Amino acid sequence: MAASEPGATPTHCPYCALQCGMSIAVGPGTAVITPREDVPANAGGLCQKGWSAGEMLDVPDRVTEPLMRVHEGAPLEPVSWETALDAIASGVGALQAVHGPDSVAVFGGGGLTNEKAYQLGKFARIALRTSQIDYNGRFCMSSAAAALNRAFGMDRGLPGPITDVGDADVVLMVGGNVAETMPPFLRHLNRMRENGGALIVADPRRTATARQADLHLQLTPGTDLALANGMLHLAMAEGLLDDSYIEARTSGFDRLRTVVNSYWPERVERITGVPVAHMREAVRMLAAGGRSLILTARGAEQQAQGVDTVTAFINLALALGLPGTEGSGYGCLTGQGNGQGGREHGQKADQLPGYRRIDDPEARARVAAVWGVEPEIIPGPGRSAYELLMALGTEGGPRALLVFGSNPVVSAPRASVVEERLNSLDLLVVADFVLSETARRADIVLPAAQWAEEEGTMTNLEGRVLRRRRAAQPPEGVRTDLEIIRGLAVRLEAPGTWSTEPEEVFAELGRASAGGIADYSGITYERIEKEGGVFWPCPSPDHPGTPRPFLDRFATPDGRARFTAVEHRGPEEDVDTDYPVYLTTGRVLAHYQSGAQTRRVRQLVDASPEPFVELHPDLAERLGVEPGSLVRVSSRRGVSIARARLTDTIRDDTVFMPFHWGGEGRANTLTNPALDPISRMPEFKVCAVRVEPAGPPVPEPHPLEGV
């Protein structure tokens, strides 16, 4: 690790849920970043995105003053903060006076700090009095969260500190490609393998992670649940279950056994395409390991049966006696930077701070007391993210939307229709630091501070609450989200206090979460600083925090983990003669989420300048597609055009597109918005498409063209 620059500020990366530790020294026109050794998640490593994160602070198209359209169809023009905030408050008031509180909605983000996520939820409920709030984390972690709550009574991403991965004997990773999505995670996998451990990866593609695996289960998209049930069937048949653990620590296994009996190996091979020998080898490896971990990620979760799919892998883990034992268990790989904390404190349509249900009278009373309001004024549950976006501008739906930390024009499924819904609004307000694809459609854009320009806390994939520290002052004219929320709350004459000091907001968050599942009440900035992060739940100042929450009992009423019998249903939209190829989507190494940040960093754009379609050479030959040529990918929802990239690392019945770009190469023009019935997660990871040649090879664009 290079020595930190003099005067460098210790903080954390602005990207994924590893929240890698870094130090940043900001000077005139420069930002020097060095990795920190004292943060277990990265232990001195950073990926290309982390190394280059300082470039975001000085992007040429940074928004540094409020922008507003003086009338419909007019261009965005600079205005004062007073003009912008007054216009928002006036517009909100006028709409709600005629159409009611739910005519105004809020859409948040999984990258917001805990303080901002908490304050945004409070703002929606008692300043706007609206039930219509959700966030882009619904597209990320919701299926795993619901499955964790169903089985364990608590949604905590990893079952223990991330260092447990390096100490494991076997890791099964399902639908995760950490080599590209969170590269420093590989340090832990590499340490495991250096110590004699083994990695198993289940994925339709031979990704950079799968290429490092000891065993790759290359399944058909949308068949993960069948694979899990088939592996459990094999474990039962071969006497590999931990019967004493099942008897002592679980409930519901007898019903599950009956269902899993029908998933005999040959049937599952026909469904998944995974050879029986590979399934059997994987089960034996997991059962033989003294410490085994099963980890799922978006590939398994972003399906219309995502909750049941994750449940099936939890069932497998429970049957082998893994959860609640030190160093073993089931975990999910949280994606967004504050994907864990962002869903705990009130951004979700059905939740209040502390991971409380918004329809629980006791929870409402506790939170209302902290907010200084009567419980009756807190609205009930609202629409989930995609349902909220699709209701915009419709009869009975919201007519105004305030967006913080999200870019749904690129990130939402069936994005072309979402774009139409945004365009139909009476008022669209976006707080961002650049004109993202969503901000360009706004009536008012509020320039917001960036990660290195504000204080706050983030909760990483371990459940460890960390400090993000201010390393630079925002440019003149830019405000933090907390300042924006306060400015609007005051104008709307909202009750209660609306601090702009993150430490004060965090203390209030602690009081509001006290007694909840995600109890932060014993965590302070001082403790985080002193201890290098604190694991929740932490219900009192003298509580040590909870790095491994299930060692003694699960968070269910009887303390037992719950098996739930689940059946494979397959993707909501299967291939047919009109759309004969599967599409799956995901990320690439150089970019993050909707690309609004990374597509403005030159070295990242140089590394990955444009969208592409990855397809097997055999499929390309059948279709007449040449390497580097343009291909048209069509689904029942729209058409995308991107450059062909041929590789034998993908199944010959499947194509892959990254989702970081808008425009004609937007992958989410194609994706299926079919929702999981429990989590309301859209089925991003599998839909049926048609692939056709669209033109000869063309020169690649300038790296920052259009930015």
DSSP result, 612-668: EEEE-HHHHHHHTPPTT-EEEEEETTEEEEEEEEE-TTB-TTEEEEE----GGG-GG
The closest of 331, 251, 336, 288 to 15, measured between CA atoms, is 336
Residue 682 and residue 595 share a domain: yes
Number of structural domains, the chain?
Answer: 4
Give dist(CA 617, CA 623) in Å, integer. 10
| 699 pLDDT more than 80 | no
- The answer to whether residues 462 and 547 touch, using CB atoms and an 8 Å cutoff, is yes
Indicate whether 2 pLDDT > 70. Answer: no
Q: What is the mean pLDDT of residues 603-613?
A: 95
- Which amino acid appears at position 436 of this protein? S
Residues belonging to the chain: 707
Residues 192 and 49 in one domain: no
In this structure, of 440-449, 561-570, 692-701, the range with the lowest mean pLDDT score is 692-701
Residue 703 has pLDDT above 90, yes or no: no
- Domain check: are 376 and 310 in the same one? no
Where residue 27 falls among pLDDT bands split at 50, 70, 90?
A: confident
- Report d(CA 258, CA 235) in Å as an integer: 14
Q: What is the CATH number of the domain that holds 441?
A: 3.40.50.740
Tell me, what's the pLDDT at 41? 94
Is 513:519 a contact under the CB 8 Å cutoff? Answer: yes
Inform me whether the pLDDT recorded for 72 exceeds 90: no
State both tokens at 379: 């609205």
Share of the chain above pLDDT 90, in %: 93
Residue with tokens 């026109």: 29
DSSP state letters, 409-446: HHHSSSHHHHHHHHHT-SEEEEEESS--TTGGG-SEEE
Integer CA distances (angstroms), 213 to 170, 172, 275, 589, 672, in order: 11, 9, 16, 18, 30
* Mean pLDDT confidence for 460-472: 95
Beta bridge partners of 383: none
Is the pLDDT score of 242 beyond 50? yes
- Specify the CATH number for the domain of residue 668: 2.40.40.20
Q: Which pLDDT value is given to residue 7?
A: 79
| Listed residue (350, 348, 346) closest to 371, CA to CA | 346
Cα separation, 296 vs 521, whole angstroms: 30
d(CA 290, CA 327): 9
The helix or strand, by DSSP H or E, that contains position 121, with its residue range, turns out to be: helix 114-122
Mean of the per-residue pLDDT values of the chain: 95
Task: Give the three-state DSSP class for 296.
Answer: strand
Residues 6+ apart with CB under 8 A from 424: 392, 393
Q: Which domain holds residue 623?
A: 581-695
Distance CA 626, CA 18 (A): 38
Q: 459 in a domain, yes or no?
A: no
CATH number at residue 219: 3.40.228.10
Asked if omega into 682 is within 30° of 0 (cis), the reply is no
What interhelical angle do 502-513 and 114-122 show, nearest 10?
A: 70
Taking the alpha carbons at both ends of the chain, their separation in whole angstroms is 33
22 and 98 in a single domain? The answer is no
Alpha carbons 339 and 343: distance in angstroms, whole number = 6
What is the structure's pLDDT at 579?
98
148 and 113 in one domain?
no
Torsion angle in degrees (nearest 10) through CA of 363, 369, 372, 373 = 50
Instruction: Residue 393: name the closest of 346, 357, 355, 443 by CA.
Output: 443
Point out the domain boundary residue: 465, 484, 499.
499
Arithmetic mean of pLDDT, 422-432:
97
**Region class of 106: left (phi > 0), else alpha (psi between -120 and 50), else beta:** beta
Residue 4's pLDDT band (boundaries 50, 70, 90)? low
Neighbours of 80 (CB within 10 A): 12
Token pair for residue 201? Answer: 């990866």
User: How would residue 707 be classed by pLDDT, with cut points 50, 70 and 90?
Assistant: very low
Q: How confident is the model at residue 73 (pLDDT cuts 50, 70, 90)?
A: confident
- In this structure, are residues 33 and 22 in contact, taking their beta carbons and an 8 Å threshold? yes
The pair phi, psi for residue 91, each rounded to 5°, is -65, -40
Question: Do the domain assignments include residue 381?
Answer: yes
Count CA within 13 A, CB hemisphere, residue 151.
33
**Quick one: 16 and 151 in the same domain?**
no
Helical residues (DSSP H) of 273-414, grouped into ranges: 276-288, 298-301, 306-319, 361-371, 385-391, 408-411
SS (H, E, C) 223-280: CHHHHHHHHHHHHHHCCCCCHHHHHHHEECHHHHHHHHCCCCHHHHHHHHCCCHHHHH
**Measured between alpha carbons, how far is 662 from 660 in angstroms, rounded to an integer?**
7
Contact 106, 408 (CB under 8 A): no
Q: How far apart are CA 230 and CA 261, in angstroms?
A: 9
pLDDT at 3 over 80: no
Interatomic CA distance for residues 114 and 614, integer angstroms: 37
Structural domain includes residue 390: yes
Sign of torsion over alpha carbons 616, 617, 623, 628: positive
Residue 337: CA count within 13 A, CB half-sphere: 26
According to DSSP, residue 127 is labeled: I
Q: What are phi and psi of 68, to 5 degrees?
A: -150, 150
* In the predicted structure, residue 114 carries a pLDDT above the cut 70: yes
Instruction: Read off the pLDDT of residues 132-181 as tens digits, 9 standing for 90 and up.
Output: 999 998 998 899 999 999 999 999 999 999 999 999 999 999 999 999 99
Average pLDDT over residues 457-471: 96
* Other Cβ atoms within 10 Å of 490 Cβ, number: 13
Pair (358, 488) in one structural domain:
yes
Cβ neighbour number for residue 627 with a 10 Å cutoff = 13
Residues 608 and 691 in one domain: yes
> Position of tokens 């960093």?
601
**Single-letter amino acid code for the residue at 318:** L
Contact 9, 453 (CB under 8 A): no
Q: What share of the chain is helix, strand, coil (3-state, %, to 5)?
A: 35, 20, 45
Instruction: For residue 1, name the pLDDT band (cuts at 50, 70, 90).
Output: very low
378 part of a folded domain:
yes
CATH number at residue 13: 2.20.25.90
**Contact at 8 Å (CB) between 144 and 176?**
no
Q: State the Cα angle at 614 between 389 and 686, rounded to 5°.
A: 40
Q: Is residue 685 part of a domain?
A: yes
The arithmetic mean of pLDDT across residues 313-326, rounded, is 97
Question: What percent of the chain lies above the pLDDT cut of 70?
Answer: 97
Note whether 161 and 40 are within 8 A (CB). yes
| pLDDT above 80 (res 696) | no
Backbone angles phi, psi at 481, to 5 degrees: -60, -35
DSSP annotation string for 26-37? EETTEEEEEE-S
Tokens of 210: 């799968």
Q: Are residues 314 and 172 in the same domain?
A: yes
Residue 30's pLDDT band, with cuts at 50, 70 and 90, is confident
What is the pLDDT, as a whole number, of residue 308?
Answer: 98
Q: Residue 123 and residue 134: Cα distance in Å, rounded?
A: 13
pLDDT higher than 90, residue 334: no
pLDDT digits (tens, 9 = 90+) for 351-362: 999 999 999 999
Which residues are registered as beta bridge partners of 561? 250
Lowest-pLDDT choice from 70-74, 177-181, 251-255, 312-316: 70-74
The verdict on 81 and 108 lying in the same domain is yes
Residue-wise over 508-544: b if at least 16 C-beta within 10 A, else e? Answer: bbbbbbbebbbbbbbbbbebbeeeebbbbbbbeeebe
Q: Does residue 568 belong to any structural domain of this protein?
A: no
Q: Is residue 610 part of a domain?
A: yes
**Do residues 480 and 376 both lie within one domain?**
yes
Give the pLDDT confidence score for residue 141 in this predicted structure.
84
Same-domain pairing of 155 and 287: yes
* Lowest mean per-residue pLDDT among 6-15, 311-320, 611-620: 6-15
Please indicate, yes or no, if residue 326 is contained in any of the structural domains: yes
